[in-house]
Amino acid sequence: MTTTRTTLSELTGDYVLDPAHTRIGFVARHTMGSRVHGQFDEFEGGAYLDGDEPSKSSARLTIQAKSIQTRNAQRDGQLSGRFLRADDHPAITFTSARVSQTGPATFKVAGDLTIRGVTRPVTLDFELTGAENDRSGDRRVTLRGGTVISRRDWGVDWNAAIGVMVGGKVKLEFDVVLVPLS
């Protein structure tokens, strides 16, 4: 929730991701019903926020596919190599096409997600969870959001012959901290 002193209008401007405080993660079902949680450690992006007319807002994100981390080096290698083909497609990108406000602090962000060179439309649900100044007086805007995708839509298939069994649905999770572009 935004602080009582901050209105959406006050948030209008250009921002970049704070990589030290932002998490780009995912959850996928693995064999025998367990879940694999992971994240990407290398990414960059930004947003233009228009508090008066959220539909004029936009966002972009570029993730380095090889930066995938699941706390298992062998699995990370399989995901980076066989699933994401990071050598041929080093970046995963998202570019917004449309933003709509769905509640006082909730938004839908529709855009194009590109994985392995395949681009498909997705819609992310976001909640504005905070907007305040840090100790040095710099504005920080925090958002939490995500969506569920079918990895097969991007050609990210599993192969039982190599022993990799991951569910078809992947939940994408975003804990975002934006700082003003200086």
CATH code, 66: 2.40.128.110
Note whether residue 143 is domain-resident.
yes
**Total structural domains within the chain:** 1
Note whether residue 1 is domain-resident.
no
User: Model pTM?
Assistant: 0.89
Reported as a single tens digit per residue, the pLDDT across 46-95 is 999 999 999 999 999 999 999 999 999 998 998 899 889 999 999 999 99
Note whether residue 16 is domain-resident.
yes
Residue 151: both structure tokens together: 């990895």
DSSP codes of every residue in 46-110: EEEE-SS-GGG-EEEEEEEGGGEE-S-HHHHHHIIIIIT-TTT--EEEEEEEEEEEEETTEEEEE
- Which structural domain, as residue segments, surrounds residue 74? 8-180
Q: What is the mean pLDDT of the chain?
A: 90
Note whether residue 2 is domain-resident.
no
Note whether residue 3 is domain-resident.
no
